[in-house]
Structure 1
Amino acid sequence: MKNNLFKKLSSGLLITALIATAFVGCGNSSADAGEEVKDASVEAGAAAADSNAGFRTLDEIKESGTINIGVFSDKSPFGYVDENGEYAGYDVYFAERIGEDLGVEINYVSTEAANRIEYLQTGKVDIILANFTVTEERAQEVDFALPYMNVALGVVSPSDAVIESLDDIGEDDQVIVISGTTAETYLTKNYPDIKLQKYDAYAEAKTAFENGNGVAWANDNTEVIAFAIENEGYTVGIPELGDQDTIAPAVTKGNETLLNWLNEELDTLGDENFFHADYEATLLDTYGADYEDTLVVEQ
C-alpha cells in the first residue's frame, strides 16, 4: 500500500514538473516554475505524512509482534520504574496480561498526563494505560474501553493545616495540580478563583508539594491517599471531590478492532477476578484490604 502511494505521489510530482516546464516555455520565468515544483513537493510530503498518521489495527499489531503501551513511569503504585529499572504497578500488571494474550512483546512508552491523548492521536502508542479517567470531553478525542477501576478526586494537605473544604483555601493560596488531569479541569471549571500551581509530571508535583509550594495538592483520590499513607505529616482532608469516575484503557479514535478486542479481554478477565488479583499484587501494601472492593472494577 505504501509503495502504491509512493508511486502515485512520484507520478504526481513528475506531472507537476512537466507542467511547470511547459509554463516556462510559454513565457513564465524559471523562478515561477521552480516555486510551483517546490509547492507540489511540499503538498506531496504533507500527503505522505498524513497517510502514515493514525493507528495500527489489531492484525497489524499482531503481525509486527510488538504493542506500544503508554504508562506512567513515576506514579507509584500504578505505573513506575522499580529499583531494577523495570516497569511495575497496577496498570503495568494489566499491560503484561494484554501482551501475553495477544502473543506480542510490549514496548512501554513513558507517558505524562498532558500527552496521553497526543500520543494516541500521533500513533506513538497503541493503548494508553496511565490511570486515564473517562470523561465526556476525552471521549470525543479517544475511544475508551470498559473500565477496570473506580476513582474520584481528592485533596491532601499538611496535617498541621488540613484543608477539609475548598472554602478553606484563601484567595492568595495555591493548590498544586498536574496539567492534563481531571483535577485541573474540575477546579478550573468549578472554582476558577482558586489559584493553581501546575506541573507536567507527578514527580515534579510531589517534590513541589513536599517543599511547601502550595497549601494542598488535588489529584485522583487514589494518588493522594497513597501519598498520605507513605509520607508522614500529611492528611487527606477531602477524600472525595466531584463525581465518582472510572479508569479505562484508551485507544485512538476509530480503532475498532483493537477496542473490540480490549472489551472482550476485559470481559474474560472479569470472569477470573483478574483485577482483584492485580490489586492484591500491586496495591494491597499501599491501600490495605479495606479499599479493594471500592476501587476494583470487574466486568
Structure 2
Amino acid sequence: MKWSSNLKKFRSVLAVGAVLAASLGVTLPVKAQTVEEIKKKGQLTVGMLVDFPPFGITNLEGQPDGFDADIAKALAKHLGVKANIVPVTGPNRIPFLLTGKVDMLVASLAITPERAKQVAFSDPYAGIRIVVYGKKNAAVRAPADLKNVSVGVARASTQDVSLTAIAPEGTQIRRFDDDASAVQALLSGQVDVIGAATPVVGEIEKVAPGQFDTKLTLREQVHGIALRPGQDELLKTVNEFVAEQQKNGALAATYKKWVGADLPELKKP
C-alpha cells in the first residue's frame, strides 16, 4: 500500500538521521574562537541536527541537508570558508559546542534563559511552534487532561522542558534520545501523544494523514545560532550575517523553500 510505503520511507529517513548523528558526530576538537582563526582554518565546523525535517535531514547522497544546512553554508560563504557540517543530536549538541568539537551550532536550538546561561545566542534566524500532537481519540484539550496519558518527547529538548512544566502528576512522560525515536513511538502506538515542533507534525501528516491531530500549543519559540561564551567578535559577525540575510530576503526565501510557510516574526526573548 502507498501509505505503508511512505511510512516505511519516513521511518527510514528519521532512523538514518539518528544513526548518522551518532556515528559521524565524533570529530577532533576545533576550538576556533575568532573570525581570523576560522579563516585560517579554512572551514566553519557547524553542528546540526539531521533528524529534524525540514530543518535538518540527510539527503539521498547521505549528506546533511535542510534549512539549517543552507543557513550554515551561507554563513560559511559569508566568512569566505567552506562549511563542514557535523551531525549532532538534541542532547549532545551543546556539549559538542562547549568541548570544541564544533565552532558553532546551527541546530534548531531554541533561545531560552536556561540555555543562554551556557551558550551565546545570535539574533533569531528561524521560529516554530511546539505542540502536543497525537492520536485523535486521545482526549487532551488542556494540561490537566495529560494525567495518565503516555507522552513521548526528545530528551532535553524544548518540548521536554515545556511539557514537564505543565504536566500534572500521573502523566507518563517517556523520554527518547531524539525526535525520530519519539515519532516512531507515536506511529507504532507506544505512546498516545508526543511533544513536537510543527515541522515534525507536518512530516507525520504526510505519511499518516488524518490519524493524528494537534491537542495543545506548548510555546512559540525562536532559534538562534549558538556559540561558546566569550566569542564576542565572532558573535558580532554572525549577527551581521543574520541581519543581512533578513534585509536581502534570503532568510525568508530559504524558510519558504524548506518549511513551506512565511518566515515568522523573529523577536529575541
TM-score range, shorter chain: 0.7 to 0.9
CA 1:296–1:69: 2 relative to 1, 3 Å: farther
Q: Do the aligned residues in 2 keep the contact of 1:127 with 1:251 (CA within 8 Å)?
A: yes
Letter in 2 for 1:85: G
- More helix by proportion, 1 or 2? 1
CA 1:192–1:165: 2 relative to 1, 3 Å: closer
Q: Which position in structure 1 is the counterpart of 2:85?
A: 108
> Is it true that 1:234 corresponds to 2:234 in the alignment?
no
Identical residues among aligned pairs (%): 26
Report Cα offsets for 1:129-164 as digits up to 9, x if no partner.
Answer: 111000001001000000012223201112343533
Q: Which position in structure 1 is the counterpart of 2:242?
A: 266
> Is it true that 1:292 corresponds to 2:268 in the alignment?
no
Alpha-carbon distance in structure 1 between the residues aligned to 2:109 and 2:152: 19
Q: Which position in structure 2 is the counterpart of 1:277?
A: 253
User: SS state of the match for residue 83, structure 1?
Assistant: coil
Report Cα offsets for 1:155-189 as digits up to 9, x if no partner.
Answer: 11123435332322232x21000011111112223
2:155 to 172, 179, 182: 179
> Is it true that 1:74 corresponds to 2:44 in the alignment?
no
Report Cα offsets for 1:46-80 as digits up to 9, x if no partner.
Answer: xxxxxx89553211111010111011112111101
Aligned residue pair count: 238
1:205 to 161, 169, 182: 182
CA drift of 1:230 comes to 4.3
Alpha-carbon distance in structure 2 between the residues aligned to 1:205 and 1:55: 34
Q: Do the aligned residues in 1 keep the contact of 2:42 with 2:82 (CA within 8 Å)?
A: yes
Q: What stretches of structure 1 of length at least 5 have no aligned partner?
A: 1-51, 285-290
CA drift of 1:84 comes to 1.8
Provide TM-score, normalisation by structure 1: 0.74
CA 1:53–1:61: 2 relative to 1, 3 Å: closer
Q: Which position in structure 2 is the counterpart of 1:17?
A: none
User: SS state of the match for residue 145, structure 1?
Assistant: strand
Divergent runs of 4+, >4 A: 52-55
Q: Which position in structure 2 is the counterpart of 1:22?
A: none
CA drift of 1:106 comes to 1.4
CA-based RMSD: 2.1
Alpha-carbon distance in structure 2 between the residues aligned to 1:143 and 1:106: 20
Alpha-carbon distance in structure 2 between the residues aligned to 1:141 and 1:57: 19
Letter in 2 for 1:260: K
Q: Larger radius of gyration, structure 1 or 2?
A: 1
Alignment of 1:87-106 (within 5 A): 87-106=64-83
Q: What stretches of structure 2 of length at least 5 have no aligned partner?
A: 1-28
Letter in 2 for 1:150: G
Q: Which has the higher contact order (CA 8 A, sep 6+)?
A: 2
